[in-house]
Amino acid sequence: MSDTTPRPSPRPAERSGWRFSAWNLLLLVPLLMLVTPWFNTVTPRLFGMPFFYWVQFVWVVVGVACVAIVYRMTRDEPVTNAPDELGVDDLDERNVR
Amino acid sequence: MTNWVELVVFLVLFLVVTVLGFLAARWQRGGHMEHLDEWGLGGRKFGSWVTWFLVGGDLYTAYTFVAVPALLFSSGALGFYALPYTVVLYPLVFLPVLRLWSVSRVHGYVTPADFVRGRYGSSLLALIVAITGIVATMPYIALQLVGLEAVLRTMGINASGILGHLPLLIAFVILAVYTYQSGLRAPALIAFVKDILIYAVILVAVLYLPAKLGGWASIFDSAQAKLSQPSATSGGKPQGSILLTGSNQLQYITLALGSALALFLYPHSVTGVLASRGRAVLKRNMVALPAYSLLLGLLALLGYVAIAAGVKPVTNNATGRPDANTIIPALFDSQFGSLFAGIAFAAIGIGALVPAAIMSIAAANLWTRNVYKEYLHRSATPRQEARQAKLASLVVKFGAVAFILFIDPQFSIDLQLIGGVIILQTLPAVAIALYTRWLHRWALLAGWVVGMTYGMYLLSIIPNPATGRRHFGGSALTLDKLTILGWHPFAGSTVQIYVGFVALVVNLVVAVVVTWLLRAAGVFNGPDQTAPADYHADEGSPRLKPVADAVAGAPGAKVVASE
């Protein structure tokens, strides 16, 4: 079931069934934010903001970091080698890979 | 009293957006506009930036911008659930959304119900999912009008009766016409304007207002002081608190989690996802979209800023009651100069148009694909499908306007609350089916029926003392009231929980039990159109179905719309 070895073939090989990478477990980390008793206090304050509020802003960063790491570490498939002829790219990024 | 500077700024920006909406039809036009892939999904080729603006504009709506701070204003910390909701959201949906994109791209699915039909070979289950989606989306569109109206009334366009709704009607007619013409490209293009305005406004507001009002410490202190006073309707208890209390912690957690699970089941979210070009685009967006969460969190705190600034909600002359949703517009009105307040109002107003357009397109797609084509006109060609969807989008939008005009807006707010509960009931059929077909199709149906019925029953027994209502007064259920066929497992408890979460658990339990029974009895589970490898196909794969291709297998498959 686990098949995360990088493939040198230019065309992404079609895979089947489940793919699992241990990195995906990182996606569960932000759920810890839902344990509210850990941070339901006023102190310590930051810029006058109670702990309850500013610590949840910190969790935004944690959430982004977790998803970004999973994205980076599971990027084993080359996306496409076909020339990008899509017009929307005029307004959009081109080949940011 | 009308503020003319605000109004002129608002109208100019509104005009810019209207022109953009009409020009959008020509923007990067692909093959046949007379096809759902083009009209309803923008050609399925949006890149990372367009998707970021489109999905951001879609998920973070005007109503969110108006209602979340209003909730903090009136009840305190509970309203901040919007932040954890949008933080846990992206990690939760990261993998399932990629699978949904791939399988939809391989088979040409336009709606989540299309996927269910392909996965289980059941047009009945697909119909149930489609109708649930349409019913949940309709009040959501109406709520965008509530957001827009809050802005208009703050600017002084606050007449009573039908006349008071006229500006709203005009705005929506314009929206309806350019959505009809340009399809999903219109909101995609307008979303750029909307989000840039919103970012500018919020950043200025969260930097300037606390400095003006004595810093965050004093803002939170005055919020706590006001919230700790008993209100006329709370029976001597404090109105709220800037921290969670013993009884609303579980509500905070389950509401955040339940809302996160529900969001990508809404048809308009799926529309945004399916319009993107590839998996890499979606992955990058899952990393970048939380920028909006940061924004939403900051915006939510403006509810406390409004308390510190002593803002009073504007009285809605159509209903005669103070409208809590005008808190944020009223705050901008009292604290900013007219020019900047006008920009802020335009940001919220345009913020209503983007999601309203996407939602009406999503509802129209559901109607066309899963009701019209399935039951009314099986041999519909892609061109007829596109025409049907365009008409349906008009019906949906005017239905939403009628909601606001003829029925108390409060009703839309209640329905939206119910919307979250009912859309969650499609989670087993859509999200779990992306991974496994273990749950039996009849078990999914049984789970849906029981979850839906139980959820509605629980909502019906929730009173709201603040508005004097005895039924459908909110989504926070006191555990004391939780009954399972007359048995009260948590009698005496004052802890509250989100109804949608309870109903989903019941739905899942029923689905699992019935699956066991049906499997033991050897009942056929329907044909599966999808192959395991479909769920990993990416752009460039030969598996993908060509965009705007005639739908294979349908009698009208050979008819290709001409330009």
Helices B441-460 and B123-154 pack at an angle, to 10 degrees, of 30
The pLDDT, as a whole number, for residue B266 is 93
Chain B residues with beta carbon closer than 8 angstroms to that of A24: 95
Domain-embedded: residue A44: yes
| Listed residue (B306, B377, B367) closest to B114, CA to CA | B367
How far does A21 lie from chain B, in Å, by closest CA?
11
Residue in A34, A45, A67 nearest the CB of B253: A34
**Which of A26, A34, A66, A93 to mutate to probe the B interface, most B CBs <10 Å?**
A34
Query: Do residues B441 and B125 make contact, with C-beta atoms less than 8 angstroms apart?
Result: yes
Taken as a whole, chain B contains a residue count of: 563
Residue in A15, A30, A79 nearest the CB of B91: A30
Locus of tokens 């699956």: B515
Domain-embedded: residue A15: no
From residue B416, alpha-carbon distances to B64, B134, B239, B411 in Å are: 12, 12, 23, 9
A48: closest chain B residue by CA: B217
Phi, psi for B551 (deg, rounded to 5): -70, 120
The pLDDT, as a whole number, for residue B408 is 67
Q: Give SS3 for B537.
A: coil
Number of domains in chain A: 1
Query: Do residues B40 and B392 make contact, with C-beta atoms less than 8 angstroms apart?
Result: no
Query: Do residues B141 and B455 make contact, with C-beta atoms less than 8 angstroms apart?
Result: no
| Listed residue (B178, B234, B524) closest to B360, CA to CA | B178
Do the Cβ atoms of B83 and A87 come within 8 Å? no
Tokens of B361: 């397109």
Residue in A30, A70, A96 nearest the CB of B88: A30
A73: left (phi over 0), alpha (psi -120 to 50) or beta: alpha
Query: Do residues B147 and B379 make contact, with C-beta atoms less than 8 angstroms apart?
Result: no
- Please state, in angstroms and rounded to a whole number, the distance separating the CA atoms of residues A67 and B8: 43
How far does A75 lie from chain B, in Å, by closest CA?
9
The CATH number corresponding to B4-415 among 2.60.120.380, 1.20.1730.10, 3.40.50.970, 3.30.70.1230 equals 1.20.1730.10
A31: closest chain B residue by CA: B88
Strands B496-498 and B476-478: antiparallel
From residue A40, alpha-carbon distances to A28, A44, A56, B83 in Å are: 21, 11, 10, 14
Domain-embedded: residue A97: no
Helices B338-366 and B327-335 pack at an angle, to 10 degrees, of 160
Residue B545: count of CB within 10 angstroms of its CB: 17
Query: Do residues B34 and B193 make contact, with C-beta atoms less than 8 angstroms apart?
Result: no
The residue segments making up the domain with residue A56 are 22-91
Q: Give SS3 for B484.
A: strand
Query: Do residues B190 and B20 make contact, with C-beta atoms less than 8 angstroms apart?
Result: yes
Query: Do residues B365 and B273 make contact, with C-beta atoms less than 8 angstroms apart?
Result: no
Do the Cβ atoms of A87 and B253 come within 8 Å? no
pLDDT confidence of A86, banded at 50, 70, 90?
Answer: very low
- Which A residues, 56 through 85, put their C-beta within 8 Å of a C-beta on chain B? 56-57, 59-60, 62-64, 66-68, 70-71, 75, 77, 79-82
How far does A5 lie from chain B, in Å, by closest CA?
15
* CA contacts within 13 A on the Cβ side of B533: 9
Tens of pLDDT along chain B (563 residues)?
A: 567 888 888 888 888 888 888 888 777 665 566 788 888 888 888 888 989 998 888 888 877 888 888 888 888 888 899 899 999 999 999 999 999 999 999 999 999 999 999 999 998 999 999 999 998 888 888 888 877 887 888 887 776 666 677 778 888 888 888 888 888 888 888 888 888 888 888 888 888 888 888 888 889 988 888 888 877 665 667 778 888 888 888 989 998 999 899 999 999 999 999 999 989 999 999 999 998 888 889 889 999 999 998 888 887 776 677 777 888 888 988 888 888 888 888 888 888 888 899 999 999 999 999 999 888 988 888 888 888 999 999 998 888 888 777 776 666 666 777 888 999 999 999 999 999 999 999 999 999 999 999 998 998 888 876 666 777 777 888 888 888 777 888 877 888 899 999 999 999 999 999 999 999 998 898 899 898 888 988 888 888 888 865 443 333 333 333 32
Locus of tokens 């949840």: A56
| Whether A96 contacts chain B with CB within 8 A | yes
The pLDDT, as a whole number, for residue B466 is 65
Amino acid identity, position B209: L
Domain-embedded: residue A9: no
| Whether A32 contacts chain B with CB within 8 A | no
Query: Cis ω on the peptide bond leading into residue A44 (within 30° of 0)?
Result: yes
Strands (E), B25-78: none
pLDDT in tens, B520-538: 998 898 899 898 888 988 8
Taken as a whole, chain A contains a residue count of: 97
Do the Cβ atoms of B280 and A86 come within 8 Å? no
Chain A residues with beta carbon closer than 8 angstroms to that of B241: none
Residue in A36, A59, A92 nearest the CB of B244: A36
| Listed residue (B414, B13, B454, B399) closest to B200, CA to CA | B13
